[in-house]
Structure 1
Amino acid sequence: MAHPIMFDEGDPILARLREICLGMPGADEKTSHGRPNFFTTKVFAVYGGVVKGDHDPEPHRRAVLVLTDPHSRAALLERERFFLPGYYGPSGWVGLDLARPGEPLLPDIDWIEVAELVDASYRMTAPARLVRELDARG
């Protein structure tokens, strides 16, 4: 049974996240388990998530999930908009809510922080040649 699509193609938050993710060397997008996944040989970002024990897609529908290094993970999880995502959390991932239910569709998102988180996750998952290509861009 196929997973239902859990995102809106016209979502402006997803559009901006796509620009960031697909701007990485060799990056591509596929829909997996109903959500946009950004990857090279491995996934480095996912749009939307859930928390363990709660499969309601709405609370974290507009979140980005990224892999973090162990040193920054604990500090990120102490911040209000970060959460431990179901399925991904035990493997070192965190979620960042970009908009919550009831908030305006384009809240005050720190896109520089989002880009830095995506960059760090990309560097931990992409092949070394793609990371070198990213570094060569400056």
Structure 2
Amino acid sequence: MSGRDGGAMRLLDRLRAICLALPEVTERPSHGSPTWFVRGKSVFVTLHADGHHDNDFAHLWCAAPPGAQGELIAADPGRFFRPPYVGGRGWLGVRLDGTVDWSEIDELCRDAYREIAPKRLVASLDAAPDAPA
């Protein structure tokens, strides 16, 4: 995040809190952007707070369940998009430059985690007392 302005930092802080609350998640930069990994090796969310390539707006990329990318883009193409590189694998791009529904972002990040994490970690997430129904 080259801008490091207050808005970008707020996005990072909110997304960091969501992702690091998940079992065995770590954060480190990947290609210059804050990225969250399961067990330090498998990416499930990347934040591009200053934009990336032709998408010159704050957004994240996240793994998504099969079919979710197409459904979400069709339902709200102003908010969801197919990101470059990982879009062909079903990943989802989510705009963060307008009003952000943080409950929805939390759900999308948890879904991304479930797609990438080993079954044992997903089971521990789902067994947690604060796990969403």
Is 1:126–2:97 an aligned residue pair? no
SS in 1 for 2:22: coil
Instruction: Report the TM-score when normalising by structure 1.
Output: 0.79
Q: Between the two proteins, what is the percent identity of the paired residues?
A: 39
1:77 to 52, 73, 78: 73
1:34 to 32, 35, 59: 32
**Within-5 A mapping of 1:1-138:** 6=2, 8=4, 11-40=9-38, 41-48=41-48, 50=52, 55-56=53-54, 59-60=56-57, 62-78=58-74, 79=76, 80-99=78-97, 107-137=98-128, 138=131
**Which whole-Å CA distance do the structure 1 matches of 2:84 and 2:3 have between them?**
18
Give CA deviations for 1:69-90 in whole Å, capped at 9, x if unaligned: 2222212112111111111111
**Which whole-Å CA distance do the structure 1 matches of 2:21 and 2:83 have between them?**
25
Asked if 1 retains the 8 angstrom alpha-carbon contact of 2:69 and 2:82, the reply is: no
SS in 1 for 2:96: strand
Q: In the alignment, residue 132 of structure 1 is paired with which amino acid?
A: A
Q: CA deviation at 1:6?
A: 4.4
- 5+ residue gaps, structure 2, are none
User: Which residue does the alignment assign to 1:104?
Assistant: none
- Which contiguous aligned blocks of 4+ residues in structure 1 show a shift greater than 6 angstroms? none
Q: CA deviation at 1:56?
A: 4.6
Q: CA deviation at 1:123?
A: 0.3
- 5+ residue gaps, structure 1, are 100-106
**Which whole-Å CA distance do the structure 2 matches of 1:82 and 1:37 have between them?**
19
Q: In the alignment, residue 64 of structure 2 is paired with which amino acid?
A: T
SS in 2 for 1:70: coil
C-alpha root-mean-square deviation of aligned residues, in Å? 1.9
